[in-house]
Amino acid sequence: MNQPPVPGQEFPQTQQPQPVQVAVPRVKPYATYAILGFTILIYLGQVLGQYYNYDIVTALGVKDNSLIRAGELWRLITPVFLHASILHIGFNMYALFIYGRGIESRYGHGRFLLLYFLSGYAGNVMSFLLTASPSLGASTAIFGLIAAEAVFLLQNRPLLGKQVNRALMNLLYIAGINLVIGFTTVGVDNWGHIGGMLGGVIFAWFGGPRWKLEGFYPSVKVVDEREGHGALAGTLSLLLFFVPLTALGWIWIAK
């Protein structure tokens, strides 16, 4: 039976949950800015060479299968610094600026550099195997960054919450649209993109940040379980997969 409240009677107030400040590991993205600046500098060298009808910068660094088989293995890395046009470098450097800063802030400088250049290497290996034409561009590494970001969100979903699903869908949409464009546009080395994505997935899956909460209220912080060994684990995992594929390039001749 309900009874009316007694005048002057006080009722206990429900306590509201208190927000907890959680410290997240972050670093300044100096490596991202360094790559961006150096790539632009290299492109200016390309433009200067083209002006004088002798683009030695591109000649020395483009992915060329026959020259790679002749021993110029650096051509599996150097194409990430080279671009064919102002639009080409513009799109790639914009993507690096958008994705690179956040990824580096979580990966740290050294691990981020390994992710970037090993993804570029992976993309160029796949191109070496499956694309006969010369190729260049940082998109191999950019696709590796996009894939690594997706792996980070997936592996840290319990900590990051429901917003991860939308972010993952956005990344899948961006990657999918660009792959479709690549397969329907003449002159785009889509095998390089696919190789870069695969390299990014492998590196991030075994060596990317794996966050967990540590400490007690109110001093709670996020720590990376792989901070000490992630770079080595990611590097070895990627190389174990792609070095044999590189060797296969001397047997399998792309046509």
Give the residues of the chain that fall short of pLDDT 50. Answer: 19-20
193: annotated active-site residue: yes
Q: How far apart are CA 38 and CA 123, in angstroms?
A: 20
Q: What is the pLDDT of residue 24?
A: 60
DSSP 135: B
159 closest CA partner among 227, 212, 104: 212
CA nearest to 212, candidates 150, 157, 151, 165: 157
Amino acid sitting at position 12: P
Phi first, then psi: give them for residue 150, nearest 5 degrees.
-65, -40
- The reported pTM is 0.87
Which candidate in 119, 127, 135, 139 is catalytic? 139
Residue 167: give the domain boundaries. 22-248
User: What per-residue confidence (pLDDT) applies to 184?
Assistant: 81
pLDDT of residue 250: 86
* Cα dihedral 80/85/88/90 (nearest 10): 100
Does 133 qualify as catalytic in the annotation?
no
Domain presence at residue 28: yes
In a domain, 244, yes or no: yes
CB within 8 A of 82, min separation 6: which ones?
A: 42, 43, 46, 57, 58, 61, 62, 136, 137
Residue 222: how many CA atoms within 13 Å on its side-chain side? 15
Structural domain includes residue 15: no
CATH of the domain at 67: 1.20.1540.10
pLDDT at position 236, please? 97
Q: What is the pLDDT of residue 8?
A: 58
Domains held by the chain: number: 1
User: Is 210 part of any domain?
Assistant: yes
- Which tens digits make up the pLDDT trace of 40-78? 999 999 999 999 888 999 999 999 999 999 999 999 999
pLDDT digits (tens, 9 = 90+) for 4-22: 655 656 555 555 555 445 5
Annotated active-site residue in 127, 135, 193, 237: 193
Q: In the prediction, which pLDDT does 222 show?
A: 81
Distance CA 177, CA 198 (A): 17
Closest residue by Cα to residue 115 from 87, 150, 68, 155: 150
